[in-house]
Amino acid sequence: MRSVSIKELEEHTAELVAEVEAGNPLTLIRSGRAVAAVIPIANTAAHPTEAARSAARARLIALMEQGINLGGLRVNRDELYSRD
């Protein structure tokens, strides 16, 4: 992890952000002491693919149809929101 002073960050923000986006984390230094880490966010977590969203949606729908065990009380989505 490369160390960068706060002054350097102020002077070269765009270039340093591009470096982090490329996967290279930075340590920010103030008065000779590390004060923060700037790390890239994984693209897969930030922007799931349509296939990943569809799979997650299918798992959620299956769970809602099956119901959830609430300590012996089984409730599905329709029962939970019924207004009897």
- Tell me the pLDDT tens digit for each residue of 26-75: 999 999 999 999 998 875 555 778 888 899 999 998 888 887 777 777 67
Q: Which domain holds residue 66?
A: 48-81
Going by the DSSP 8-state scheme, the letter that residue 41 receives in this structure is P
Regarding whether 33 and 9 lie in a shared domain, the answer is: yes
Structure-token match 């959620």, residue found: 60
What CA–CA distance (Å, rounded) separates 71 from 84?
Answer: 22
Regarding whether 36 and 6 lie in a shared domain, the answer is: yes
Entry pTM: 0.49
Regarding whether 37 and 6 lie in a shared domain, the answer is: yes
**The one-letter amino acid at 30:** R
Residue 67 Cα to chain centre, angstroms: 27
pLDDT of residue 46: 59
Regarding whether 25 and 55 lie in a shared domain, the answer is: no
Regarding whether 32 and 7 lie in a shared domain, the answer is: yes
Q: How far apart are the first and last CA of the chain?
A: 60
- 12-31 mean pLDDT: 93
Structure-token match 């070269």, residue found: 12
pLDDT of residue 43: 58
